């Protein structure tokens, strides 16, 4: 049995994906979509920012980061590295050195279902990273096993290589490329309504309960 299972490199994302999702917030999508959101415990490391990119998936067993170091040479500009730590919450596979190499390759960011290390170094490279926290205990090159560009589980979500990752200050959303157009259309319409409602509230012409319909429900059923 092979130690390392390596799938095909996924196709590049269509440029329209970035245009469609440019101003879409994960929290807006959370108003109408019920799946694809990673565990809220996976948070932006340092100052939150936005990332849209192609998922390059990895599964790494507890203390071993052999395949991660190899996979860094396969990255392309705009990729988001998505790492399934297979339940490990102690050993940090992502730190300053890995960030430097990923940045050199042009990666857009990383999402780790586990802990990271070297937060100051990561911040210095300006690479957005989402993870479960910080640990001083790191992985090593043990040559144990791993998977690259195969379906993985990250934050309770199945992530396929080539999926679209949208991550911001509110969390991480995974979208199949075929869902992007519909999700973006719904999100932008929702955000437009939110802006209009905010103007009404600011002007004192309406209350949130009226705009959301909550007050109507209470009046009817109270």
In order, the DSSP letters of 59-122 are E--TTB-HHHHHHGGG--TTEEEEEE-TT--S-B-B-HHHHHHHHHHT--EEEEESEE--HHHH
Please give the C-alpha separations between residue 51 and each of 34, 54, 76, 79, 194, in angstroms, as whole numbers. Answer: 21, 10, 15, 10, 22
53 is an annotated ligand-binding site residue: no
Model confidence, pTM: 0.93
Asked if residues 37 and 172 have their Cβ atoms less than 8 Å apart, the reply is yes
Ranges of residues in the chain with a pLDDT under 70 are none
Tokens, residue 155: 């934050």
36 is an annotated ligand-binding site residue: no
pLDDT of 222: 77
97 is an annotated ligand-binding site residue: yes
pLDDT of 25: 97
3-state class (DSSP) for residue 183: helix
Please give the C-alpha separations between residue 9 and each of 37, 71, 148, 154, in angstroms, as whole numbers. Answer: 24, 11, 9, 19
Domains, the chain: 4-176 (3.50.30.40), 184-221 (no CATH)
List, in sequence order, every residue forming a beta bridge with 134; answer none if it has no partner: 116
pLDDT of 159: 99
Residue 209 burial (CB count, 10 A): 13
Asked if residues 146 and 61 have their Cβ atoms less than 8 Å apart, the reply is yes
95 is an annotated ligand-binding site residue: yes
Asked if residues 60 and 142 have their Cβ atoms less than 8 Å apart, the reply is no
Burial classification of residue 20, based on how many CB atoms lie within 10 Å of its CB (0-12 exposed, 13-18 middle, 19 or more buried)? buried
96 is an annotated ligand-binding site residue: yes
* 165 CA to centre of own chain: 5
């Amino acid at each position: 049995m092979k130690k390392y299972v390596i799938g095909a490199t996924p196709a590049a994302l269509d440029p329209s994906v970035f245009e469609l999702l440019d101003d879409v917030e994960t929290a807006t999508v959370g108003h109408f979509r019920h799946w694809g959101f990673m565990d809220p415990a996976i948070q932006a490391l340092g100052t939150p920012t936005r990332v849209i990119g192609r998922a390059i998936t990895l599964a790494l067993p507890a203390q071993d980061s052999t395949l991660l170091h190899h996979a860094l040479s396969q990255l392309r500009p705009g990729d988001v590295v998505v790492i399934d730590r297979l339940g490990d919450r102690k050993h940090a596979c992502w730190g300053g050195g890995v960030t430097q190499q990923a940045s050199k390759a042009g990666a857009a960011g990383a999402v780790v279902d586990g802990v990271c290390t070297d937060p100051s170094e990561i911040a210095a490279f300006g690479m957005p990273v989402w993870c479960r926290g910080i640990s001083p205990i790191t992985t090593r090159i043990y040559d144990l096993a791993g998977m690259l560009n195969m379906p993985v589980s990250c934050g309770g979500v199945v992530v396929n290589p080539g999926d679209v990752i949208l991550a911001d200050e509110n969390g991480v959303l995974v979208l199949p490329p075929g869902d992007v157009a519909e999700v973006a259309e719904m999100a932008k319409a929702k955000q437009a309504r939110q802006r209009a409602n905010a103007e009404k509230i600011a002007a004192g012409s309406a209350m949130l309960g009226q705009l959301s319909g909550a007050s109507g429900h209470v009046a009817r059923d109270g």
